[in-house]
Amino acid sequence: MPLNACLEELAAQAAAARRSAYAPYSHFSVGAAALDEDGSVFLGSNVENASYGLTVCAERVAILKAVTTPGRSRRTTVTALAVSATPPVWPCGACRQVLAEFAGAGCLVILADAAGNVLETATLSQLLPHAFGASALATGEQH
């Protein structure tokens, strides 16, 4: 499948996932579709909580589904992530950090509208240029 068609399909799947969001407080529904290295797609939608800090973003739901699906490697690598919302928004800082754990710096992040139209793309390294990762833990001195 040509790259543009793949991006459009992923954006459409994120828009479809958005319809499953649980957002009774903010009414801000977000859908995400994470594509992994073997071509599998994992969908997520945001789930709010009356205590807003306990809300889980759609992006993290999709990525964590990819990581925790039985029979899959714990090092599943997300190669692309589409996010659909109105108004369109990029993943938050926490979602970017989760991507840094489970995607390479070249992971393509696709910004889509609620209809699933691709608006913009950026790599994870553009969105989070100095990501914190496991390598920082390995070099720290033990006390």
Residues carrying an active site annotation:
59
Give the integer Cα–Cα distance in Å for 67 and 46.
Answer: 17
Asked if 64 and 96 count as a contact pair (C-beta separation under 8 A), the reply is no
Asked if 89 and 30 count as a contact pair (C-beta separation under 8 A), the reply is yes
Give the integer Cα–Cα distance in Å for 18 and 12.
Answer: 10
1, two tokens? 């499948």
Residue 88: strand, helix, or coil: coil
Give the integer Cα–Cα distance in Å for 100 and 127.
Answer: 10
